[in-house]
Structure 1
Amino acid sequence: MTVNTNMIHCSQCGTQMHVSAAACPSCGAPSARAEDTSSNNPFFWYKTVFSKYAVFSGRARRKEYWMFVLANAIASFGVGIVDALINGHTILSNLYSLAVLIPSIAAAVRRMHDSDRSGWWILLPIVNLVFACMEGTRGANRFGNDPKQPLK
């Protein structure tokens, strides 16, 4: 049996795809080869989470989750300042909160999956915080491949 070295598996859904693919043909997740997972720019990770807007399957490493949280806090602060300067009401802040609600929940669910836990744990805030800080399981688990491991 020969191994096709031109094929990799999607880190989100496990679908087999060609190494040159920029995104998974099944779920649309960016290819790990196409992502710069070493980026320390929080807005790179913010964009990454938004590219998986309502993807609740797969895994999110700590860096992806916490950089998204940081970028979201910065953006929320900025929108709040603009809101206060423009009209003194919270219309823009409310719209922004509504826009980031689903990606925030999806990222938190994927973060739980990284430690091989059900996404339902996000309903318990203190436990969720502890689990979100813990390192994910090494290697593949029932939710997908390890996002820290290079794809073979």
Structure 2
Amino acid sequence: MMTLVLLVFALYALSGWIAVLVAFGYVLGTLARMRPVDLMRVEGPWQVRLFVPTRAYLRLDRVATLCLMLFDLWVVSLILLLGQEGIFTEDWMAHPGMMDTSAASFQSDAVHALLTIMWWTCGFAVLCRWWTAAVAQLCVLSAAAWWIGSFETFWNS
């Protein structure tokens, strides 16, 4: 069963960039369609206008959340694909126990990269007022970094 999970991650790592590009194109298309629509409310106090966007902007937020989550899944899949041959020693991976001593910092570098991507994409989402996308980035990428960091390796046992 877990070999099937690894196969799904490997296939998405190899072809997931297509899904990310299609989702990014969908974000741009949604942005172009909603261009004549007001993005901020015109009535109410400034707090309401800032934190409660219009319906068109909420639709853009949902599409951006989907795009960012597909990107996150692609990054995690690449990390798993690159680390399955000799770095991670999980029982459900292809070669448990096989160690590649030349990649001693792969796990910590992967966790650091996931956390860096989390903060940059979350910051961009906050700047764009995509509240759902920002929360999704914080939840998904921090959980993925914790999961990758919890893998048993020769250096983390």
TM-score by structure 2 length?
0.30
TM-score by structure 1 length?
0.31
Q: Which has the larger radius of gyration?
A: 2
**Higher helix fraction: Structure 1 or Structure 2?**
2
